[in-house]
Structure 1
Amino acid sequence: MSRILVVEDEREIADLLVAYIERAGLQVLRATTVSDAIMMHGQAAPDLVLLDIGLPGGDGLDVLAAIRRRGDTPVIMLTANDDDVSKLSSFRIGADDYVVKPFNPSEVIERIRAVLRRAMGTSKPKRLSIGILEIDLEARLVNCHDAKGQAKRLNLTPTEFEILAHMARYPRRAFSRSELLEAALPGSEAYDRVVDSHLSKLRQKLVGAGCADVIEPVRGVGYRLWVEG
């Protein structure tokens, strides 16, 4: 069952969308603010996001940009903004479709289905296998295979998972602290050095699972994931 994240602060509109989406046999998640939307996208890994532009706590385009920094989750903008600037900005950032309010709920459902079909035809792997590491991006699980070939699951925080998954997409590439911070906590005002704390705990968990210390510091840059095999 596909999961749809509805990001809409107007309760009546959100309730209407939820009713139609559930009737179509899809699972629904809800968020009403920019921060909640970014957090839920990272934690729940929805298959598609319906996204309003005017939201409490910021702009829906900020949510879209954060989603695109993380990956290719399909996004349909659902907004009262009918101006060309909003449309062009949305598509340039990476929106897959754009629906203007007021809308026909049945048409929105068909657009969701169409975008999901396109996404399934061009979907990227949901699992990354890099040497002794196996990362399930959809279930948000990480297994580490020790020297005996036995798999041990790592108990990671959402931030630790995002950092590891981002590095695993580009193994052996050196990442700056700011890059890792943006990948794991988009829009965060935390200092870059916060990454050192998360990386320290992540590396300890990897070693504790019976794996070599596969994340190594790169002097003058930051960190990289180096897995043999």
Structure 2
Amino acid sequence: MQQQPYERPGIPAARQGARVLVVDDDPTVAEVVAGYLDRAGHVVDRADDGPTALTRAAAHRPDLVVLDLMLPGMDGLEVCRRLRGRGPVPVIMLTARGDEDDRILGLEVGADDYVTKPFSPRELVLRVESVLRRARPAAVSRPLGAAGLTLDPAARNAAKNGTELALTLREFDLLAFFLRHPGRAYSREELMREVWGWDFGDLSTVTVHVRRLRGKVEDDPARPRLIQTVWGVGYRFDPTATGGEED
């Protein structure tokens, strides 16, 4: 069930924001991020380590978590795993490292987006609002289905041959996009724009999410049949195909 926005006294309902949990052991970063999110109309909880973050999230389920990768004791990857184990919650990972492996690890454990430090707080707010916007149920949207897959955009649930799929926010949106546009090849740039809502970004994000989605919808992810790689172009969803190759 979709959580309702936390009501803030004195702010009209139409402008009520979401509850965002900011997890960072750097008090300066946490304060700046919390300040920008607060001014954008969101209600902000803060934690400076993993166990505290999990306790806060259990007490007041957040609509989104901004999570630092490098935390003392329990790192951000483990916090993300445990949060995702409790149920779907959008996560934006913060990392001070520029190493691609760290970014991919964050996406692999279920983060919906990441921002590399140092970052623009305004850009982070835009990314938060983009992820939140896509997490909300569609106002009017018909159920989708093909090749044993069913997806209900309004209820935000999906299944394969009647068995519910555990999809992250981005995996869900990516599958919905493919189901709406079967048979056409899309570049990673187009998928970034259409699914993530960004005209720029690290295209490895798309690659990782396609790989994760294949692992959940394909009978044999090593030989994907539904989500095919179109060499030199990108990816194509083909519910009628009989075989494919991994990128």
TM-score between the two structures when normalised by the length of structure 1: 0.53
Cα deviation per residue 1:117-163 (whole Å; 9 max; x = unaligned)?
A: 111135758xxxxxxxxxxxxxxxxxxxxxxxxxxxxxxxxxxxxxx
Task: Quote the residue 2:30 is aligned against.
Answer: 14
Structure with max Cα Rg: 1
- Matched residues in 2 for 1:35 and 1:102: separation? 25
> Which of 104, 113, 116 matches 2:129?
113
Unaligned runs of 5+ in 1: 126-229
**CA separation of 1:120 and 1:81: change in aligned 2, threshold 3 A:** same
- Distance in 2, matches of 1:123 and 1:21, equals 27
Matched residue, 2:57: 41
What CA distance in whole angstroms lies between the structure 2 residues aligned with 1:118 and 1:31?
Answer: 25
The reply on whether 1:69 has 2:85 as its aligned counterpart is: yes
Structure 2 gap segments, 5+ residues each: 1-16, 138-152, 157-247
> Which secondary structure state, in structure 1, belongs to the residue aligned with residue 136 of structure 2?
helix
Inter-partner Cα distance in structure 1 for 2:105 and 2:154 = 24
Give runs of ≥4 in structure 1 deviating > 6 Å: none
Q: Distance in 1 between matches of 2:73 and 2:155?
A: 32
Aligned residues: 125
Which residue of 15, 34, 42 maps to 1:26?
A: 42
Return closer, same or farther for 1:14/1:123 CA change in 2, 3 Å cut-off. Answer: farther
C-alpha displacement of 1:57: 1.8
TM-score by length of structure 2 reads 0.49
Where is the strand percentage greater, Structure 1 or Structure 2? 1
Select 2:100's aligned residue among 61, 75, 84: 84
